[in-house]
């Protein structure tokens, strides 16, 4: 039976343990699931990519402190034939200054020797008022694009 947070959708192993620890805000248990030479690749924001579990600890320490009610939800997961674990997930909470933060996306984890060794990270802020699909296509296509024609 799935739990409301969806962690039961994850395969047994380090990805599941990491998400369970993150939901408990157990920083030590969470970071223990990462290899020391862990590689985080953020394709949509290459300058945000990093190497090392020490940076994982720094990032999540700041998140847990800055968003004390941070919750994570696993929406879906699949294990690829090569062993990668694809996770669709979301996070939500309220910063100490009262601002609500919400993110959603996909993380594609590589597991090596029972620890998380790499991820391709596609988590982005949820934007509720960023315009409709025509606005988004126009931003990519350029000013001459006239929108949907029906």
Over the stretch 46-88, which tens digit does the pLDDT of each residue have? 999 999 999 999 999 999 999 999 999 999 999 998 989 999 9
In a domain, residue 118? The reply is yes
- The two structure tokens encoding residue 88: 């669709």
pLDDT at 75: 95
- Among 24-28, 100-104, 146-150, the range scoring the smallest mean pLDDT is 146-150
Quickly state the pLDDT bin for 30 (edges 50, 70, 90).
very high
Q: How many CA atoms lie within 13 A of 31 on its CB side?
A: 15
Q: Count of domains in the chain? A: 1
pLDDT at 24: 96
Return the CA Rg of the chain: 17
Number of H helices, E strands in the chain: 4, 6
Closest CA to 129 of 91, 105, 102: 102
pLDDT at 1 over 80: no
Domain holding 67: CATH number? 3.10.450.50
pTM for the model: 0.87
Let me know if residue 150 belongs to a domain.
Answer: no
Q: In the prediction, which pLDDT does 105 show?
A: 97
The verdict on residue 21 lying in a domain is yes
Q: Which two tokens stand for residue 123?
A: 């988590």
Neighbours of 67 (CB within 10 A): 19
From 100-109, 128-137, 138-147, the region with the lowest mean pLDDT: 138-147
Q: Give the H or E element holding residue 58.
A: helix 53-66
Say if 148 falls within a structural domain: no
Taking only the tens place, the pLDDT of each residue in 125-141 is 999 888 888 888 888 88
Residue 97 domain boundaries:
7-141
* pLDDT > 90 in the chain, percent: 75
Residue entry with tokens 């934007």: 127
């Amino acid at each position: 039976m799935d739990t409301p947070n969806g962690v039961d959708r994850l395969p047994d192993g380090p990805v599941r343990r990491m998400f369970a620890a993150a939901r408990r805000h157990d920083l030590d248990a969470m970071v223990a699931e990462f290899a020391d030479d862990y590689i985080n690749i953020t394709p949509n924001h290459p300058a945000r990519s990093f190497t090392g579990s020490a940076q994982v600890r720094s990032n999540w320490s700041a998140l847990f402190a800055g968003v004390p009610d941070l919750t994570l939800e696993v929406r879906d997961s699949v294990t690829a034939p090569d062993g990668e674990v694809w996770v669709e997930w979301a996070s939500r909470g309220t910063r100490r200054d009262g601002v609500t933060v919400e993110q959603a996306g996909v993380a594609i984890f590589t597991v090596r020797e029972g620890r998380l060794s790499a991820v391709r990270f596609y988590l982005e802020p949820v934007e509720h008022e960023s315009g409709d699909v025509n606005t988004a296509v126009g931003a990519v296509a350029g000013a001459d694009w006239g929108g949907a024609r029906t």
